[in-house]
Amino acid sequence: MSEAQKFQHILDGIREDLTFVDNLYGKLHWILMNNPHLRNGFSYKKTALEIKEWTDDVFLDKIYEIDSKIHKFLIDVSLEKLYKNLSIHEIEKYIRDILQEKKGLGYGNTHMNLGKLDKAISNYRDSINTTMDHVRKIHYKTNWTNMKEINIEDYILPIKRHRYVTAREELGNAKQAIKDGKYEDVLNHLRPAIDLAIKERFGFKKVKMWQFLKDAFTCNFPLPAYTMLYDYFDEGSQRLHSGRINTPYECQKALDFVNGFIDRLELINISQEEIDNFKKKCKWVE
């Protein structure tokens, strides 16, 4: 991979993260403006607390992750001075205004502040694109010298998150295995990462993954992916047992996929009742 390709790969990852933030915004908008539990006094307190925790642990945390990733990249290519052009202050302000609405979550100025938050996210994305265009221009002038020591694995994984901590620790182990050239160990960390994330998202204690994935597909139980997960658990296991190790490129793409899969678990809208009903149908989860 050339230095210009490495730069584009990192930039594409950042843009994908920003698109994911747009999707998180859509979910936040829905749970604030269309959530029946916010209109029901009996369940308001519990629902409001869950929304506030989700906004901190997922929405804001993703913003901090992106900002940290960009800051690290600019430091690594000796262009930290450009970081002054980026700011997440407006995003933080409107999120706090939404969460601290005096008339209650989902009431008062919530709709107006959601509009301002949407605009702040758009402005942040524009400032990132402008900054990275400037970085690209500088790299062409310097023949990409500062990109030569960059490892793209360092920009795939996020900082330690509040949610899916154990799953992300396994992702970190997979990343280190790639850097160490121990490609036979990568799937041995990625599969537990998937397993742990699914358990946390849906409250499962045990999952027999191959059978679970078949039932999830048949019953329309919402997952970000089915076939690719099945391949990692089935074909990946067969390859290891037969001594056929995944190539470095395959390991890189697998790490990228699993990281994105865990993120996208947060975009799934499913009630506890729907989860409980699925557990009654599927004997492969507890």
Domain spans in the chain, listed from the N-terminal domain onward? 3-147, 156-281
What's the pLDDT at 54?
92
Give the rounded distance of the alpha carbon of 124 from its chain centre: 18
Q: Please give the pLDDT value at position 82.
A: 96
CA distance linking residue 120 with residue 63, whole number of Å: 12
Q: Residue written as tokens 């492969």?
A: 284
Return the CATH number of the domain spanning residue range 156-281: 1.20.120
Residues in the chain where the model's pLDDT stays below 50: 241
Give 191-202 pLDDT, tens digit per residue: 999 999 999 999
Collect all residues with Cβ–Cβ distance below 8 Å to 166 and sequence separation of at least 6. 196, 200
Q: Phi and psi at residue 203, in whole multiples of 5°?
A: 75, 25
Judge contact between 229 and 190, C-beta under 8 A.
no
Per-residue pLDDT tens digits for 169-188: 898 898 888 888 888 888 88
d(CA 2, CA 7): 9
Q: d(Cα 74, Cα 14) in Å, to the nearest integer?
A: 13
Structure tokens at 265: 């678990």
pLDDT at position 245 is 65
pLDDT at 32: 92
Q: Judge if 3-147 and 156-281 fold alike in CATH terms.
A: yes
pLDDT value at position 158? 62
**What would be the CATH architecture of the domain defined by 3-147?**
Up-down Bundle (1.20)
Give phi and psi for 15, each to the nearest 5: -65, -35
Two tokens, residue 172: 């970190």
- Long-range contacts, stretch 63-72, CB < 8 angstroms, 24+ apart: 63/21, 63/88, 63/91, 63/92, 64/88, 64/159, 65/17, 65/158, 65/159, 65/161, 66/14, 66/17, 66/18, 66/21, 68/159, 69/14, 69/17, 69/155, 69/158, 70/14, 70/128, 70/131, 72/154, 72/155
Q: Nearest Cα to 255, choosing from 196, 167, 165?
A: 167
d(CA 257, CA 236): 14
Is residue 208 within 8 Å of 253, Cβ to Cβ? no
